[in-house]
Amino acid sequence: MSLFKILLFGAAVVTSFACSVLLFRGYRRRRIRLLMWSALCFAGLTINNVVLFLDLVIFPDIDLRPLRLISALGGMLFLLYAFIGDTDEMGDPL
């Protein structure tokens, strides 16, 4: 595995983790629930990126694709719930 690929996967993990931390900080300050759901989505994507790194770099012989897909799906479901189900804070659009 080339050094570039390792750095690329590492940058993806660090970036998604930083987004998650910043969104959690924003939620803690302003208590806007969409920030919380977005932070949980990015936490799932961080787990997805870590498992991707483990799958392709550390354990290339073991297929961790189902775990990667479950973590990505979990993160996206948090955001989907925020957009569809959690409408208390947004009020009536009309």
The whole-number pLDDT of residue 90 equals 54
* Number of alpha helices (DSSP H) and beta strands (DSSP E) in the chain: 3, 0
In this predicted model, which residue has the larger pLDDT, 29 or 2?
A: 29
User: Could you tell me if 90 and 33 are in contact, meaning their C-beta atoms sit under 8 angstroms apart?
Assistant: no
Has residue 94 got a pLDDT over 90? no
pTM assigned to the model = 0.86
Cα separation, 2 vs 4, in Å, equals 5
How many CB atoms neighbour CB 85 within 10 A?
9
Length of the chain: 94
User: Amino acid identity of 85?
Assistant: G
In this predicted model, which residue has the larger pLDDT, 93 or 81?
A: 81
In tens, the pLDDT along 43-92 reads 999 999 999 999 998 999 999 999 999 999 999 999 999 999 877 655 54
